[in-house]
Amino acid sequence: MRKQGSVVRWDEVRAFGFIRSAGTSADIFFHIRDFRGRAGGAPREGMAVSFEEIHVGGKGPRAMAVQPSGPVGQADGAGRVSARSRTPSRSRKSGDTGATVGSGALFALPLMLAYAGLLAWAVAWTRQLPWWVLAGSVAVNLVTFMVYWFDKYAAGTRQWRTSEATLHLWSLAGGWAGAWCAQQVLRHKSRKAEFRTAYWATVILHCVAVAGALAWKQGLLPL
């Protein structure tokens, strides 16, 4: 049996929120993947919705198959059409646009190729680095991708989260390419401006450190 309620909280960054319904004492959790809105729409606080309520593992009520119960562009309490209902969720925050992802790709993809070429040159041509450095780099990036995936899953299930500092440490350790891929593929940590600024700082620091170490070993930099 479907129930009626309204969204009382929506976190755009973490992509989850809560619904309040007269038939349930506690606020009801739901994730963006459980939302069945119209094309281009997204949940917002105050939106009237219908949903199926379930209970899993003693974690409190959860809403599934959440749908807006009003028309597109439903009027606010003051009778004005909400501007947020007409704007796709990806463009509501500063820096939260498709252009952000695209411009990042124009810089990230060539940098990945240049970084891989630098490591291959240092391993196979100049023998400055041992062979396992390439395998280690691949492993670190795969682990970093999985760390992002687990954090994304934890965000949707209200489990223990991985701190942003830990995510940045993985990038700084060499997993920045895997982190970038996770941000784009999983749509996780890809819209928060502060996080992305710190992320790109770790990328620059790591690449500069590696290039500087190789240049020093070649005798191009003084002690």
Q: Which tens digits make up the pLDDT trace of 23-66?
A: 788 888 888 888 887 655 788 888 899 888 888 766 778 888 89
What is the predicted pLDDT for the residue at 149? 94
Cα–Cα dist 111/40, whole Å: 33
What is the predicted pLDDT for the residue at 86? 39
Q: Tell me: the pLDDT tens digits for 75-126?
A: 344 333 343 433 444 434 434 434 344 447 788 899 999 999 888 888 888 8
Cα–Cα dist 220/201, whole Å: 25
Percent of the chain past pLDDT 90, that is, above it, reads 28
pLDDT tier at 176, thresholds 50, 70, 90? very high
Q: Tell me: the pLDDT tens digits for 128-140?
A: 888 898 889 999 9
Domain boundaries, the chain: 3-90, 98-217
Fold of 3-90: OB fold (Dihydrolipoamide Acetyltransferase, E2P) (2.40.50)
More confident residue, 61 or 206: 206
More confident residue, 187 or 38: 187
Please tell me whether the overall predicted TM-score, pTM, comes out greater than 0.85 for this model.
Answer: no
Look at strands 16-20 and 48-55 and give their pairing.
Answer: unpaired
Cα separations (Å) of 193 from 13, 95, 199, 205? 10, 6, 10, 18
The amino acid that residue 128 corresponds to is Q
What is the predicted pLDDT for the residue at 102? 45
More confident residue, 100 or 186: 186
Contacts within 8 Å (CB) and 24+ apart, 58-63: 59/29, 59/158, 60/26, 60/28, 60/29, 61/24, 61/26, 61/28, 61/29, 62/28, 62/29, 62/30, 62/34, 63/5, 63/19, 63/28, 63/29, 63/30, 63/34
Residue pair 73/81 in contact by the 8 Å Cβ criterion:
yes
Look at strands 61-68 and 48-55 and give their pairing.
Answer: antiparallel
